[in-house]
């Protein structure tokens, strides 16, 4: 009886092992032709990674929006897009950005590379910093599949308490943008920055937001997504889910505007 039971278990495992494996493989999406796969890089700290509450009932992907998962596979872009902190990662601006870009470009598939990490300073995102180098590597690895079309940025909360950091923020971020474009061999890569929330009241928040607007005037093909009127979660640091989605649409509007201007040159 004991041998028979062991054989029964072995038979059960042999029958179900292959289908499970196949289901894992089927999760990876079929990619379109390279020229029809437009890739966007999502970088910054927690408000880019997203801390909005995910609603399982409405967490359905757009049919033409994919995300790069932590195993390097392109999969449907359900929330959370990021996986920087699995227990708290949630809805971020990418959740509104991807669908808005896809709806404006009906002939292409959008690929989002989620590379933001909560609680990180700008120093880790400049050239030579670990997160900068990781983001560049992820894009380069996937340029064989698609075309990098832009980057969206939300960061600055972590640099808003130290005068040495927020007073040099503009110069450091402008240098990072130039380095990113050079390293990706895309000199006119559209780059959209998002304002810190109106609810965020650290001493340097206004200086950081001012830096974004100064860069948009001085550095070509850059823009700023407004955070005006977007509410916070109870922590008064992170945008709530509805705000994050609306923020993403504002990022998309800026991105499309930059792309349109670049195409007219």
Pairing outcome for strands 37-44 and 147-154: parallel
**Mean pLDDT, residues 55-64 taken together:** 96
3-state secondary structure of 140: helix
Q: What is the mean pLDDT of residues 140-164?
A: 98
> Is 70 exceeded by the pLDDT of residue 22?
no
Residue 77 lies in a domain: yes
Sequence-distant (≥ 6) Cβ neighbours of residue 223 within 8 angstroms: 190, 191, 192, 193, 216, 254, 255, 257, 258
Residue 222 is assigned to a structural domain of this protein: yes
What pLDDT is attached to residue 53? 97
Mean pLDDT score of the chain: 91
Average pLDDT over residues 54-63: 96
Residue 208 domain-assigned (yes or no): yes
Give the C-alpha separation, 208 to 246, whole Å. Answer: 21
Cα separation, 235 vs 78, in Å, equals 24
- For position 59, what pLDDT does the model report? 97
Tens of pLDDT, residues 115-150: 999 999 999 999 999 999 999 999 999 999 999 999
| pLDDT at site 24 | 37
What is the reported pLDDT for 186? 97
Residue 14 lies in a domain: no
Six-digit token string for 121: 């300073």
- What pLDDT is attached to residue 4? 41
The strand pairing partners of 86, in sequence order, are none
Instruction: Give the residue-averaged pLDDT of 58-73.
Output: 97
Q: What is the pLDDT of residue 19?
A: 33
Whether 70 has a pLDDT exceeding 70, the answer reads: yes
H helical segments located in the chain: 2-26, 46-49, 94-104, 130-142, 163-166, 169-183, 205-218, 241-264
Q: Classify residue 101: in a domain, yes or no.
A: yes
**Does 28 map to a domain?**
no
* Domain count within the chain: 1
The 10s digit of each residue's pLDDT in 190-223 is 999 999 999 999 999 999 999 999 999 999 999 9
Is 26 within the bounds of a domain? no
Q: What integer pLDDT is reported at residue 72 of this predicted model?
A: 97
Q: Domain with 116 in it: what CATH number?
A: 3.40.50.1110
| Cβ-contact 50, 91 below 8 angstroms | yes
Higher-confidence residue of 241 and 10: namely 241
Q: What pLDDT was estimated at residue 95?
A: 98
- What pLDDT, on a 0 to 100 scale, did the predictor assign at position 150? 98
Q: What is the pLDDT of residues 212-262, one digit of tens each?
A: 999 999 999 999 999 999 999 999 999 999 999 999 999 999 999 999 988
Domain with 59, as residue range(s), is: 37-264
Please report whether residue 22 resides in a domain.
Answer: no
How many Å apart are CA 210 and CA 212, to the nearest integer? Answer: 5
Average of pLDDT values for 21-31?
59
């Amino acid at each position: 009886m004991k041998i028979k039971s062991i054989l029964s278990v072995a038979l059960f495992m042999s029958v179900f092992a292959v289908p499970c494996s196949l289901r894992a493989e089927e999760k990876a999406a079929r990619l379109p032709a390279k020229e029809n796969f437009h890739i966007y890089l999502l970088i910054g700290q927690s408000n880019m990674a997203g801390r909005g509450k995910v609603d399982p009932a409405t967490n359905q992907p757009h049919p033409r929006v994919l995300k790069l998962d932590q195993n390097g596979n392109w999969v449907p872009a359900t929330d959370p897009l990021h996986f920087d902190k699995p227990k708290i990662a949630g809805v971020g601006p990418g959740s509104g950005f991807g669908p808005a870009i896809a709806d404006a470009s009906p002939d292409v598939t959008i690929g989002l590379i989620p590379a933001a990490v909560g609680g990180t300073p700008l120093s880790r995102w400049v050239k030579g910093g670990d997160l900068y180098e990781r983001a560049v590597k992820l894009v380069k690895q996937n340029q064989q599949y698609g075309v990098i079309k832009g980057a969206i940025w939300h960061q600055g909360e972590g640099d808003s308490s130290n005068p040495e950091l927020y007073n040099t923020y503009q110069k450091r971020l402008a240098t990072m943008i130039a380095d990113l474009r050079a390293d990706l061999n895309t000199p006119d890569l559209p780059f959209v920055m998002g304002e810190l929330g109106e609810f965020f009241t650290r001493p340097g928040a206004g200086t950081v937001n001012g830096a974004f607007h100064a860069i948009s005037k001085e550095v070509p093909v850059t823009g700023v997504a407004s955070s005006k009127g977007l509410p916070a979660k109870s922590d008064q640091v992170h945008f709530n889910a509805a705000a994050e989605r609306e923020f993403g649409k504002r990022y998309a509007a800026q991105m499309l505007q930059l792309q349109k201007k670049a195409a007219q040159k």
